[in-house]
Chains A and B, each alone.
Chain A
Amino acid sequence: MKKSFVLLLICMIMLTACGSNSNTKNNAEAGTTGAEKAKEITIWAWDPAFNIAALEVAKAKYAAANPDVKINIVEYAQSDIIQKLNTGLNSGTTKGLPNVVLIEDYRAQGFLQSYKDSFYDLSSSIKGADFADYKSGPTSLDGKQYGVPFDSGVTGLYVRTDYLEQAGYKLADLQDIDWKEYIEIGKKIKEKTGKALITLDPNDLGLIRTMIQSAGSWYLSEDGQTPDIASNVALKEAFEIYKEMMEADVANVHADWSQFVAALNSGDVASVPTGNWISPSITAEASQSGKWGIAPYPTLPGNDKSVHASNLGGSSWYVMNVDGKETAADFMATTFGSDSEMYQTLLTDIGVIGTFKAAASGEAYSQASEFFGGQKIVSDFAAWTEQIPSVNYGVHTYAIEDILIVEMQNYLNGKDIDKVLGDAQAQAESQIK
């Protein structure tokens, strides 16, 4: 025992000795950066295979023209970034904040409205109109453009074409369907193949969100503040469709992301209506190559405003109002803000479908995908991206969704729909002052 304790102590002393060395090194670095602050910028983002990889491309491009600028890319999980931003902004000190940060569109207004002065107005660097229209809601405030719109969360209906055929359908039959027809197809598939049509997570109403956005509606009314639940026609329809899926016995249930992906990879479900970012997870199962296709998003039945396009997720870049903001804004404007050629690289190398309009006419966007049976999926997605209705995500998307998740269960258990939405409205109003 004594020996191991001594060993531990020796280890510790050695470690601290080495440690103090590396500490001084760090301090030296910090010292030099202090002298020429504007030439070094820090960026926070998540997902090394996607956002970080895109940043690396932009960084290399920018470095070629501006060799004196040092760009530090720091990777954090999305929830970690939110936690760090909240603490940092809350404490009122700019110390430790990055120059550029990636924020999910659903959360962007929350940050912009609460800490408006902490973000840098990019109106003079980029044009909001250069990007897909639906992105302007989350990324701008009071007519000023704060965010550089990044990836598209455009949705599609991913389907197993082999299951479809067994049930007597073709991908072509799915080009203009609504959710009711979708469920009918699901019943046939279940009958013929025994496979579920869709897999749902009771704790994530992403599907509901996409349904109502396709009709230009959201949990909040256009001001982004007032909950719009009780009198929201699209939301009511979406709830009814959701229940119908459950009752028609065509839905599988999953509890988390890994089970979700597993359901796709194992071939247990015949379709996934979701954002285009699911593609890498689907193509990861190489044995299913050629068995998938992507149809336009179904519409809400009987809702004139509902289109065959919607959005799920997606995020944008924000420049913080701290030292180095001019350099950061310049970096953003010359890369993600205007370089349509770079977006071709991002697409072919990383699979990023951007929202920069000019990029959609590039060559990479019209490539056919072998995995998806030769379908030109990217040009389809790009076309759908332009149709996504713009809504104001407001500041309370997830707060309201927490309420709706509970009410959805009540609804599935037999509570009346108007009562369900009315109760949710009342709860939302009392919670959001």
Chain B
Amino acid sequence: MAKSKRFFTYLFLSIIAIVSIFPFLWMVISSTNKSVDVTRGRLLPGSHLLANFQKLVETTDLQLSLFNSAKISLTTTVLALLIASLAGYGFEVFRSRTKDIVFNILLLSMMIPFAAMMVPLYRMFASISNVAPGIGIDTMASVILPTVTTAFLIFFFRQSTKMFPKELLEAGRIDGLSELGIFFRIYLPTMKTTYAAGAIITFMSSWNSYLWPLIVLQTPQTKTMPLLISTLGSGYAPDYGMILIAIVIGTIPTALVFFLMQKQFVAGMTGSVK
């Protein structure tokens, strides 16, 4: 009985695993094939990996796009973690009569679809450009700033802070640490796993972010990886082998960040303080 139950569990899990892994596998395999073979659905690795890669490097500014994406994602991640954790910490630790109202309003902002804010946001940045071109449209700042605080991340940090032992705060206060000192020297090191989970979530969404960068970035010099990939598929006769190698390259950083912090991510999602 137990054995057959186990068998079905494994069978079920295997099917799910195949379903989730197959697209990745196909992507990697296809990046080694010619475009014609990709469209034919060839499932064997080919010998065109280098040729595809060479063509990609020759026809696009791959390095620049990777660099732009890295710059935006890393800056966003660090800033977002700092701001959201400060906010989440503040919401949970400090006492105020209005904080729950403010927090609920903040959560409501999650309900507004980005498409509704897009045009006003663009207008805003276009007019900022006249005054301060450094943070107006077509700059890194214009991509980073709107995503640097998200209600979700603040919510996430507030929830995690609920499990943070308040006795540690008291101890810190008694020992004469300033409030910021408590945050940076007690809270931050204790909540490492929460930060790791937050970092993965923010990095991924920033790295993959498409619509807003598309609208606000204007020149080839500022193109990010998703924009580059989107452009590759624009031809009347797209080269699928080349597109897929670009996608593989575009996937590596997020995969890397995830595997690097996988343990912490799981711990962070399930509650960080042991």
Chain A positions within 8 Å of B, measured between CB atoms, are 1, 4, 8-9, 11-12, 15-16, 18-19, 22-23, 26-27, 30, 42, 46-50, 72, 74-78, 80, 83-84, 87-88, 90-93, 95-96, 257-259, 261-262, 265-266, 277-278, 280-281, 284-285
Given contacts A88-B122, A266-B40, A284-B35, is CB(A75)–CB(B234) below 8 Å?
A: yes
Q: Are A16 and B75 in contact (CB under 8 A)?
A: yes
Q: Are A87 and B235 in contact (CB under 8 A)?
A: no
B134 near A: Cβ within 8 Å? yes
Given contacts A16-B71, A23-B140, A74-B220, is CB(A259)–CB(B236) below 8 Å?
A: no
- For A88, the chain B residues whose CB sits under 8 A away are 122, 215
- For B67, the chain A residues whose CB sits under 8 A away are 15, 18
The 5 closest A-B pairs by CB, nearest first: A77-B234, A262-B39, A46-B234, A95-B126, A93-B126
A23 to B130, CA, bound (A): 17
- For A277, the chain B residues whose CB sits under 8 A away are 236
- For A284, the chain B residues whose CB sits under 8 A away are 35-36, 237
Chain B positions within 8 Å of A, measured between CB atoms, are 35-36, 38-41, 59, 67, 70-71, 74-75, 78, 118-120, 122-123, 126-127, 129-130, 133-134, 136-140, 211, 214-216, 218-222, 227, 230-231, 233-238, 240, 260, 263-264
Q: Are B126 and A48 in contact (CB under 8 A)?
A: no
Query: Beyond A23-B140, A46-B235, A93-B126: 9 further Cβ-contacts under 8 Å?
Result: A26-B139, A47-B236, A74-B218, A75-B220, A83-B215, A87-B119, A87-B215, A95-B136, A280-B236
Q: Are A84 and B214 in contact (CB under 8 A)?
A: yes
- For B264, the chain A residues whose CB sits under 8 A away are 1
Q: Give how many A-B residue pairs fall within 8 Å (CB-CB).
A: 128
A369 to B233, CA, bound (A): 27
Q: From residue B128, how far is it (CB to closest CB) to chain A in Å?
A: 10
Residue in B39, B74, B137 whose beta carbon sits within 8 Å of that of A261 in the complex = B39
Q: Are B231 and A80 in contact (CB under 8 A)?
A: yes
Residue in B122, B129, B222, B236 whose beta carbon sits within 8 Å of that of A91 in the complex = B122
Residue in A12, A16, A49 whose beta carbon sits within 8 Å of that of B237 in the complex = A49
A46 to B230, CA, bound (A): 10
Given contacts A19-B140, A95-B126, A96-B137, is CB(A48)–CB(B38) below 8 Å?
A: no
Q: Are B118 and A87 in contact (CB under 8 A)?
A: yes
A180 to B29, CA, bound (A): 43
Q: From residue A403, how far is it (CB to closest CB) to chain B in Å?
A: 22
A46 to B137, CA, bound (A): 22
A83 to B216, CA, bound (A): 11
- For B39, the chain A residues whose CB sits under 8 A away are 258-259, 261-262, 265
Q: Are A27 and B237 in contact (CB under 8 A)?
A: no
Q: Are A262 and B40 in contact (CB under 8 A)?
A: yes
Given contacts A48-B59, A93-B123, A265-B36, is CB(A12)–CB(B240) below 8 Å?
A: no
Q: Are A19 and B71 in contact (CB under 8 A)?
A: yes
Residue in B70, B138, B218 whose beta carbon sits within 8 Å of that of A15 in the complex = B70
Q: Are B78 and A12 in contact (CB under 8 A)?
A: yes
- For A49, the chain B residues whose CB sits under 8 A away are 235-237
Q: From residue B27, how far is it (CB to closest CB) to chain A in Å?
A: 13
Residue in A9, A18, A42, A50 whose beta carbon sits within 8 Å of that of B235 in the complex = A50
Q: From residue A378, how far is it (CB to closest CB) to chain B in Å?
A: 16
- For A42, the chain B residues whose CB sits under 8 A away are 218
A11 to B127, CA, bound (A): 33
CB nearest neighbor in A for B233: A77
Q: From residue A399, how far is it (CB to closest CB) to chain B in Å?
A: 18
- For A30, the chain B residues whose CB sits under 8 A away are 133
Q: Are B219 and A74 in contact (CB under 8 A)?
A: yes
- For A96, the chain B residues whose CB sits under 8 A away are 122, 126, 137-138, 216, 218
Q: From residue A61, how far is it (CB to closest CB) to chain B in Å?
A: 22
- For A259, the chain B residues whose CB sits under 8 A away are 39
